[in-house]
Structure 1
Amino acid sequence: MTIKVRNLNTWKGEEGEFVEYVGKGSVLENPYTKGCKRKLNDQYKEYLKGLPVDSPQWQRIDDLKKLHEEGKNLNLLCSCYPDPCHSNIISDAITGRIKPKKIKPKKI
């Protein structure tokens, strides 16, 4: 199914559509806010890749991945679209193009 990035300020969803807000205040918000868009996106990508698989961010991405695999169309809602933003990186993580850091087993 599809994953689409939508603009919070202009998009009107239909009843029953799945919407995930990924902006400020959400678990998937971009903590980087100062600088050019490309740099912010690169920083977010590295940040996300550096988080462990059991982080709240990757747990939510895993939930979204399951919905996507079940055939649900996902709408990622932010205020950046149509500019490329961290929502595109989240989409890549949902589809498996970006992966979390592996947790190393603790030595006993």
Structure 2
Amino acid sequence: MIIAALLLAGAASAHRMFVGQQITLDLFVFYDDGSPAANAEVKLYQEGALFAQNVTDATGRFTFTLPGKGTGDWSYEVEGGGHTEKGSIIINNTLAKSR
């Protein structure tokens, strides 16, 4: 009986699941009086090399989806209204352990 049951059982199909990630960077640029820095020039660097360049929208916002997993050392430079602001962001590929 056991042998018959094993022979009658169909082949099991195994499959895997993959989960991807995508990181979108939102920069909100404002002057010290609270007004948005519209049309400010934004330069985005990856590992020190210029990666993207654009301007902020009317609300002072710059949005960019980082390539791949988005990991690495990123920096930005924003110029507008006679002002320049620089900053950096480090995105690590650290996975949380499930319990």
Same topology, TM > 0.5: no
Point out the structure with max Rg over C-alpha: 2
TM-score, normalised to structure 2's length? Answer: 0.24
> Greater strand share, 1 or 2?
2
Q: Which has the higher contact order (CA 8 A, sep 6+)?
A: 1
TM-score, normalised to structure 1's length? Answer: 0.23
> Greater helix share, 1 or 2?
1
